């Protein structure tokens, strides 16, 4: 995991640090999947060339799955969230704010959606800026003032401009490949085939077999933790980018404070869509929150960094 960020003083420095951390985590993830696939492939076939072929096959399968999500995922998310596309006449203030932030970011105007729910929250989706969509809840419009709404919309436009959906696709492919490789190896053991291959293939293959067994058990958990770490870094990056668009860290900080302290339950949110929202929509007191890994950085930490920007300096970011 990346080390805590150094003490930096501007949103530009924050952006640079969070981008660097994101790239570092993705590089670690790629290296991890490569080692996992090679070790398990070697343990299975006892041949280096065969191991590379098995790794490439798993990556190909993961890529096909990821691309399907990439091109159809936004429609599925909006449908699952019961989001309704609106026009300027339906919510003129929201439309004006979205237009302002799109111009500030140098991005096309995204489509705008409303979720008829009293819990304040928002998310962005779409595979690129030309296909971007921003969805906000009715509660967000009713409970936030214009500066706070601008901060939230700027955060979501930052996700669009930073191509976070592409990061999500890449990480999803890596997670899917990890699970695919691990599951294949463990299933072959269940039927006894992997055990026979591990035997009689030489001492190196036997060692690889034992290492592969440990990796296959731990790999899905490690992959999930890496995925969450990358997601959290992208949230920090979107916060810093939002400040670069609005030049008003107070608006976003106040919005995060209101959203996180609101007790209303966002009924349409689920574990598959929770990571998209600006603040985790699943409250700790809800039954569905049990066993849920954190997809967001601590909101208190995000607010603390934004308040420090407001005061003219950024403190050290905790891990």
315 within 8 A of 303, measured Cβ to Cβ: no
Q: Report the alpha-carbon angle 158-161-162, nearest 5.
A: 80
Joined tokens for residue 90: 């339906």
Structure tokens at 233: 């870094």
The residue length of the chain stands at 319
Catalytic site includes residue 156: yes
Could you tell me how many helices (H) and strands (E) the chain has, helices first? 10, 4
Q: How far apart are CA 62 and CA 197, in angstroms?
A: 25
User: What strands, in cross-sheet order, belong to the sheet with 133-137?
Assistant: 83-85, 111-115, 133-137, 122-125
Q: Which of 85, 156, 286, 310 is catalytic?
A: 156
| Residue positions annotated with a catalytic role | 156
């Amino acid at each position: 995991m990346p080390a805590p960020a150094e003490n930096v003083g501007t949103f530009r420095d924050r952006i640079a640090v969070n981008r660097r951390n994101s790239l570092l985590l993705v590089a670690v993830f790629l290296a991890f999947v490569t080692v996992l696939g090679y070790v398990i492939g070697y343990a299975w076939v006892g041949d280096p060339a065969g191991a590379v072929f098995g790794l490439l096959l798993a990556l190909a399968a993961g890529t096909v799955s990821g691309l399907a999500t990439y091109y159809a995922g936004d429609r599925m998310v909006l449908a699952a969230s019961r989001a309704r596309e609106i026009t300027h006449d339906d919510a003129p203030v929201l439309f004006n704010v979205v237009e302002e932030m799109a111009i500030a970011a140098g991005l096309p105007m995204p489509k705008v959606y409303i979720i008829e729910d009293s819990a304040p929250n928002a998310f962005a989706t779409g595979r690129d800026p030309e296909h971007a969509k921003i969805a906000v809840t009715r509660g967000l419009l009713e409970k936030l003032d214009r500066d706070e709404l601008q901060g939230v919309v700027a955060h979501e436009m930052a996700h669009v401009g930073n191509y976070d959906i592409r990061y999500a696709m890449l990480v999803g492919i890596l997670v899917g490949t990890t699970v695919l490789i691990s599951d294949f190896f463990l299933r072959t053991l269940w039927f006894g085939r992997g055990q026979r291959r591990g035997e009689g293939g030489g001492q190196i293959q036997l060692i690889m077999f034992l290492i592969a067994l440990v990796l296959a058990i731990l790999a899905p958990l490690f992959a999930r933790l890496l995925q969450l770490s990358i997601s959290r870094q992208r949230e920090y990056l979107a916060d810093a980018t939002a400040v670069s668009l609005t030049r008003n860290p107070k608006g976003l900080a106040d919005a995060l404070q209101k959203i996180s302290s609101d007790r209303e339950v966002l009924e349409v949110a689920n574990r598959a869509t929770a990571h998209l929202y600006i603040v985790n929509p699943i409250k700790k007191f809800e039954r569905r929150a049990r066993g849920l890994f954190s997809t967001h950085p601590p909101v208190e930490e995000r607010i603390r960094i934004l308040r420090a920007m407001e005061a003219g300096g950024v403190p050290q970011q905790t891990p």
